[in-house]
Every structure is written in structure tokens, then in C-alpha cells.
Structure 1
Amino acid sequence: MTIATHRTTLANGLRVVAVEMPHLHSAEIAVYLRVGGRHDRREKAGLAHFLEHMLFRGTAEHPSNLQLEAAFEAIGGCVNAATDAETTCYYSRVHPDHVAEGVRLLSVMLLSPTFHGIEVEKKIVTEEALEDINEEGAEINPDNLASSLLWPGHSLGMPTIGYLDTIAGFSEADLREQMARYYVPANAVVVAAGRIAAPEIFAAAERAFGPWRGPLPPEQLPVADGQDAPRTVFVKDADSQVDLQIAFRGFPRLDPRMVPARLIRRVLAGGGCSRLHLNLRERLGIVYSVDAQLAAYDETGCFSVDLSTAPENLTVAVEEVLRETGRLAREGVDEEELRRVKEGYFFDLAYSRDSTFEMQVRYGWGELMGLVKGVDEDRTEAAAVDGAMLRATARELFSPRRLNLVAVGPLKGSVRKELEGIIRRYEAAY
């Protein structure tokens, strides 16, 4: 059956999106806010994430997190949330017969938090933050370390969770100021997807969020495109393996090169037939798995390759990853490999039509970020990518001047010099 999408804007500026999927037996609801780690100042790093946590600790209607969770469970739900660099999302699957109540419960969370239990939540978030720090107090999360290389001196380079000192210093006044600045209708999108009817969703949103008021959110600090040479960071840590991330500074969210970049990710690490999987795991046997991630923000982005390997295999792993990125930049892909990668992408797009979660992300997050595209539009854009487009994108993306390398683990004394030599050879051959 056809998926139908509908959109309206309430008088207060809140956008509401309904994705009708009448053939399904569930629904997904969410509220997206355009605020994340990049909106935190250094002295308040982690505040966006901490506020997300605090909204689960109770509301005027549900004084405890247990009562709030029980209210969602009573309608077939399990409320969850996530904060990333640019957005915060509160979401839950609910039974289609109770979508209106689910929307109301989300509004209760966002509009009437009590902020009880701040000190307890600080302990919880501190435990979460400690997972990224070793016994010497050094940062060991490759994502955080790579971000600090990619965007030094900018909030995008800070960990979204914050630092131990900033977490310890959060107050109720900080939380209320954050809400007043960013938790405003013009900065939010409500979305529902599944067996729903758009008029009912719009009416439910009006009842629940209609009284919400607030000014326009503040402007965010842009990122300067300043990288002109490779950067590296090495952290010695007691472990049996080395965690490696090779991150290339990527493209902004609306850059047309993002379309071939998605296919490049699949060429390198998109499954059992991908180049890095075949080389590093099946041919050399030096990794259990290898992944590639693609992130895009308003004015910048990142393409990263992640793997873990024994210390004695680290230089080989780096050589192989850069050999493949360099080969893509020089040679691109042949028609058969490109056809296979596209087909895999098309299958995943087709499968997404059965997921209420993926549809609410596509149309809810997409509405928030100015990137609303249907499945057919994504398919058409990817189908138009040819070998020349993919090679040209790889040539720009994998330039040595965009390269950032992070290695964390039991590093040998000479390994830094060896890896920097590999990078210099990569530069010379590019």
C-alpha cells in the first residue's frame, strides 16, 4: 500500500508530520529538537545530553521515572531518547489506538519536567562518561578523539556527553535556561508514523502542544573549513587490541556529493562483499569486523573507518585502509561492483518502507534538518550515480589534507613513526 505523508504548522510555529502506513499494526511517535552537543559552550559541555536525561526523571503529572515509564507501557510504548551533535529526539513505539495519548505524554515530558534527582542523574551520566576514559584519565573513545582532530576549538570537537568537570557542575538553573533557549516550538518537529490518520495526529498535537510558546532559538556557531594537512593522535592504553579510526573530513548535509559518498561507504565496508571486509578479514585475518560511518552536519561532515586489531597488525591495517581509499580515488569502481552496491542500497530502501521507526526518522528528522526526501527520490538520486561521479567524489573525500588518524591501545614505541611514514607515502602517491 502507498505511504502518504502530510505536514502542518501550528500557530506557535511547531511543525507536525504524519506518515500514514495503514497496512501496519504499530505506530511510532517522536519529538525532534534542533539542539545537540554543538550548541553547548565549553564550560557547559554535555548540557544538551544531560537535559535529555533529566526529562525522564519525572513530570508534574508523573512525579517519578517509574510512573512515567508505566504511563507509556500502558499504551504499548517504551519511551526512549537520543542526543547527537545537532539534534535531540524523544520517541516511542505505541499502539495505533493510543497515538493521541502518546503525543500527549511526550508533551508532558517536554513541557512540565520537575528536574528532581539532579545529583543522582549526575552520577549516572558520570558513569557513562567514565566508559570513555582510562585509569590515567585519558580519553580513549576514538570517535571523541577523531572529533577533536576534525574540529579543534569548536563544540563539534567536544564529546556530546561532556566532561567530568562540566557534568559535576550542572544546576537546575542551567537546565531551565537550556530549555528556554532551545526547547521552543520553532525549533521542534512532532512526527507520527504507522497506522495513523493525519487529521487525528494534527488535532492531538494541537491539544498537547498548542499552548507551547517560546522565542526563536539562537544562531549556532559555524565551523571554519580549516584542515589542510593530515592530523594524528595516539593514546597508549592497557588493552589486548588497538582501536583504530581513520576519519576524513567530509561534506555538509545538503552537498550533492553525499549521494555517491553513501555508495562509497558500502563499497568499503557495506557487508561481506565489501573491499575492507574481504581484505582485512577474509584475506589477511587481522580483524573480526570493520565498519565505515558517514556523518553530515550543516557545514561539514566526516567519513570514518573503524576497526580493532592486534598491535602487531596495526601498520598493515592502516596500509590496507589507505590503499583502498587511494585506489578508489584513482580508479573508482567498475560497472559490476557499482551495480552490486546500488542493488544492496535499493533493497535497504525498500525494506525501510516496513519500518515505522525509519519512516519517522526520514520525515521527522528530515523536516527538522531541511532534508525531506522520499524513498523513491533517494533511489533515483543513487541510480544516477555513475563511475565517474563516484571516483570524483572519492578523489576529493580521501585527499590526504582531509585525513585524521586515531590509534588507542597498547602501542609500541616505534608505531607512531611508522604510521606517520605510511601517511607521508599516501600523500606522496595521491
Structure 2
Amino acid sequence: MTATAHRKTLPNGLRVVAVEMPHLHSTEIAVYVRVGGRDDSRATAGLAHFLEHMLFRGTAEHPTNLELEAAFEAIGGCVNAATDAESTSYYSRVHPDHVAEGLRLLAAMVLTPTFPGIDIEKRIITEEALEDINDHGDDINPDNLSSSMLWPDHPLGMPTIGYLDTISAITEADLKGHMTRYYVPTNAVVVAAGRVRADDVFGAVADAFGTWAGPSAPGRLPPPSNQDEPRCLFVKDADSQVDLQITFRGFSRPDPQLAASRLLRRVLAGGGCSRLHLNLRERLGIVYSVDAQVAAYDETGCFSIELSTAPENLLTAVEEVLGETRKLAAEPVGAEELRRVRQGYFFDLAYSEDSTFEMQVRYGWGELMGMVKGIDEERAEVEAVDEGTLQAVARRLFAPAALNLVAVGPVTATAKRRIEQLLRRYAKEFPTSSQPPGP
């Protein structure tokens, strides 16, 4: 049996999605709000993330986090949350017989938080933030560093968790003001996926969230697009390895080239048969693992390749990674390799139909972002990517003017100069018929 998604908008503007999966024995429920780190300013960096934490601390009905957690556990749940650059979500798996109660508990978190224990939460989040900072006070998180290079002086370039000074300065008034601006029904989606009936979900959400009101959320500042050459950043850190991240400015969420970008991720680092795994691990033995990620936002995105290696292997690792991205721009992927990575993509799509979590993300988060795609639609999109399309997208995606390199660890001055030379050579040898993505 396949999942069937149904959608309704309540009179207050709240969108509701019910994904019927009657053959399963659980249900995933979630509330999505279209607000994240990019909606913070430098002075309030980390506010969206801090608020997400605070909604667990107590509601009018359940004054403590312990009571709130116990209420979810009583219906088979375990509430969780996440904040990223553009969205915040609150979610839990619950027993299908208790979906209405689970939705009521989520509504209480969003509509009637009491904000106890702000100072305790500051200490907790400060400890979380310190994981990304070394003894000298330098940020050593490659993701944060890459973002700051891609989108300098813009909220997308700031860490979602914020900075030590901004975390310590957050007040209850800041939290309430943030909620007033962004936690409004027209800026949110409620979703339930699993053994549910759509009409039951719509009724339960109307009962739980029907009184929610508020004006439209503010707009967003577009990110900059002024890079015209490769950039590199080295952060010294006392470690036995160097953390390397090579990131290219990529495609926005609505860009049709995103499907090809996801296939390129699988070609490079999508498993044991991927190019970088075979070269860096199996042939050279200089990494334990290598990974690649695709991120897409409203107007921009990025494609990141990340690994850790011993300092003496850093130059080789950089050369190998750039050699593969250049090769993808210069030569078509073979038909058999494309068939293999495409088939792997299709298998993962099929597996996702067994997951209530993945279905609520697909249809709930997708509704929030205005990009709902069913399994068959996404499959057709990927099926349409041929060898020529993949090469054309690689030529644009991996262009030198979109390249940002971050190395964190014991990198010598000689290694830095050699890496800068490699980047200049990459720019000189790269095919020049395409422009990089923007902004």
C-alpha cells in the first residue's frame, strides 16, 4: 500500500497535512514553523534555536519539562525538535489511538509556553556552543566556517546556535517577541503521517490549534552573491587530524538542477562504490570516511564534501577531491555508473514509504516550503537526468568561482601555500563554458 496525502487550510490560515498509511502501526506528528537561523540578526543570533529549547521547559498545563515529557510518554511518544537555517520543527511518534492527544500537547507547547528556567537553558546551550570552539576561542566547526565564507555578513553565514555573547544576552522579552513575529498560523504547518484518517486529523488540529492567530511573518533578507574566485580559510587547532571541507555554492530549493546535484553527491560520496570512497579510502588509505551533503534554501544552496585526514595527507586529499569535481565537469558520467547511482536513489525512495517520519517530512516540511513532491514525481525528475545533463550541472556547480575550502587543524604554512596553488590550478584548468550558481 502507498501513502496518500490530504491537505486542508483552517480558517486561521494554518495548513494541515494528513498522510494516510493504514498498513502501519504508528503515527508521526509534527508542527513546522517557517523560521530559523537566517531570521536572526547578529545581535540576536541563536534566538530561533534558543526558543525551540525553551518550548520544552513547560506549558500552562504541564509546568515542567518532566511533566511534559511524561505526558508524551503516556501516549507512546518522545517529543523532539530541530532548528535549521529556515525552519523549526517539533515532532513525536505516537500511538495511532492517541493522535488527537499528541496534537493537543504540541499545540500547548506552541501556544502556551511559560518560559521557566531561562538561565539553566543558557548554560545548556552555551555548553553546546562550546563544542565548536577551541581553547583560543576560535570557531572550529567546518560547517560554520564554510557558511561564513559562502554568505558573509548575512544570517545564513551565522551559526544557527548563535554566539556566546548573543546566547548570554537573550531575555524572555526576546523570546516572546520572536514568537509574536514568527509563530503565527499562516507561517506554520501541522502534519500527521501513519495510521490515521484525514478527517480525524483535520478535526483534531482544528480543536487544538483553532484559536491560534497572528499577522503575517516578516520577509527575509536575500543573501549576497559576490564571489568570483576560489577562497580558502585555515584555522589552527591542536589535533592529530585536519578536518577538511570543500564547499561549492549550489542551487536554491526551486532550481530544477537540484535533482542532478543530488545524483552528483551519490557519484562522489554516496557509498562504498562512490568515487571519493574508492580513491581516498580504498586506493590511498588516507581517510576513514568521506561524505558529501546538499543543502538548498529559498534563493541559494551549497554542495559540501567533508573528510578528516592526517596533516601529511592533506594536500593529496585536496588534489583528489578537486580532481574528481573537475573530471565530472569535463567528462560525462558513464551510463553504467549513472544507472547504479540512480537505482540507489530509487531504492531509497521506496524505503522511505515505510517510514512515518520520512513521510511527514516529505509532505509536512514540503508543504511549509512550497515544494511538495510525491514519490512518483521525484522519481520521474531523477529519471530525466541523463549523462549530458549531469555533466552540464557539474560544470556549473563545481565552477572555481563557487569554491570555498576550509581546513581546521595543524596545517603548516607550506601546506597552506601548496593548497592555494592547487586552487589557482583548479581555476585555470576548469572548463569555462558555464557560470556558477547564484546567489
Question: How do 1:8-407 and structure 2 match up within 5 A?
Answer: 8-407=8-407
Q: Please give the alpha-carbon distance, in whole angstroms, between the structure 2 residues aligned to 1:314 and 1:121.
A: 39
Q: Are the counterparts in 2 of residues 332 and 394 from structure 1 also a CA contact under 8 Å?
A: no
Provide the secondary structure at the position in 2 that maps to 1:11: coil
CA offsets 1:64-88 (integer angstroms, 9 cap, x no match):
0000000000000000000000000
CA offsets 1:393-416 (integer angstroms, 9 cap, x no match):
000000000000000001112111
Q: Please give the alpha-carbon distance, in whole angstroms, between the structure 2 residues aligned to 1:93 and 1:309.
A: 38
Q: Are the counterparts in 2 of residues 81 and 89 from structure 1 also a CA contact under 8 Å?
A: yes
Q: Please give the alpha-carbon distance, in whole angstroms, between the structure 2 residues aligned to 1:205 and 1:222.
A: 33
Q: Please give the alpha-carbon distance, in whole angstroms, between the structure 2 residues aligned to 1:389 and 1:264.
A: 11
The residue identity in structure 1 corresponding to 2:265 is R
Q: Aligned-pair distance for 1:332?
A: 2.4
Q: Please give the alpha-carbon distance, in whole angstroms, between the structure 2 residues aligned to 1:362 and 1:2.
A: 14
Q: Are the counterparts in 1 of residues 2 and 353 from structure 2 also a CA contact under 8 Å?
A: no
Q: Please give the alpha-carbon distance, in whole angstroms, between the structure 1 residues aligned to 2:165 and 2:105.
A: 33
Q: Please give the alpha-carbon distance, in whole angstroms, between the structure 1 residues aligned to 2:310 and 2:3.
A: 48
Q: Aligned-pair distance for 1:303?
A: 0.1
The residue identity in structure 2 corresponding to 1:285 is G
The residue identity in structure 2 corresponding to 1:240 is S
2:437 alignment partner in structure 1:
none
Q: Please give the alpha-carbon distance, in whole angstroms, between the structure 2 residues aligned to 1:306 and 1:341.
A: 20
Q: Are the counterparts in 1 of residues 152 and 224 from structure 2 also a CA contact under 8 Å?
A: no
Quick check: 417-426 or 223-232, which moved more? 223-232
Q: Which runs of 5+ in 2 are unaligned?
A: 431-439
CA offsets 1:122-158 (integer angstroms, 9 cap, x no match):
0000000000000000000000000000000100000
Q: Aligned-pair distance for 1:226?
A: 1.6
Q: Are the counterparts in 2 of residues 46 and 167 from structure 1 also a CA contact under 8 Å?
A: yes
Q: Aligned-pair distance for 1:3?
A: 1.5
Q: Please give the alpha-carbon distance, in whole angstroms, between the structure 2 residues aligned to 1:28 and 1:332.
A: 41
Provide the secondary structure at the position in 2 that maps to 1:134: coil
Q: Please give the alpha-carbon distance, in whole angstroms, between the structure 2 residues aligned to 1:81 and 1:415.
A: 41
CA offsets 1:341-397 (integer angstroms, 9 cap, x no match):
000000000000000000000000000001000011111110111000000000000
Q: Please give the alpha-carbon distance, in whole angstroms, between the structure 2 residues aligned to 1:309 and 1:329.
A: 26
The residue identity in structure 2 corresponding to 1:182 is Y
Provide the secondary structure at the position in 1 that maps to 2:12: coil
Q: Please give the alpha-carbon distance, in whole angstroms, between the structure 2 residues aligned to 1:412 and 1:260.
A: 37
Q: Please give the alpha-carbon distance, in whole angstroms, between the structure 2 residues aligned to 1:308 and 1:2.
A: 41
Q: Aligned-pair distance for 1:2?
A: 2.7
Q: Aligned-pair distance for 1:23?
A: 0.5
Provide the secondary structure at the position in 1 that maps to 2:192: strand
The residue identity in structure 2 corresponding to 1:175 is L
Q: Please give the alpha-carbon distance, in whole angstroms, between the structure 2 residues aligned to 1:420 and 1:427.
A: 11
Q: Are the counterparts in 2 of residues 352 and 358 from structure 1 also a CA contact under 8 Å?
A: yes
Q: Please give the alpha-carbon distance, in whole angstroms, between the structure 1 residues aligned to 2:368 and 2:294.
A: 19
The residue identity in structure 2 corresponding to 1:221 is L
The residue identity in structure 2 corresponding to 1:263 is L
Q: How many residues align?
A: 430
Q: Aligned-pair distance for 1:293?
A: 0.2
Q: Aligned-pair distance for 1:276?
A: 0.2
Matched, 1:429 2:421: no
- Give the alignment's TM-score, normalised by structure 1: 1.00
Runs of 4+ in structure 1 deviating by more than 6 angstroms, as ranges, are none
Q: Please give the alpha-carbon distance, in whole angstroms, between the structure 1 residues aligned to 2:106 and 2:9.
A: 18
Q: Please give the alpha-carbon distance, in whole angstroms, between the structure 2 residues aligned to 1:210 and 1:386.
A: 47
Q: Are the counterparts in 2 of residues 38 and 155 from structure 1 also a CA contact under 8 Å?
A: yes
Provide the secondary structure at the position in 1 that maps to 2:307: strand
Q: Aligned-pair distance for 1:224?
A: 2.5
Provide the secondary structure at the position in 2 that maps to 1:336: helix
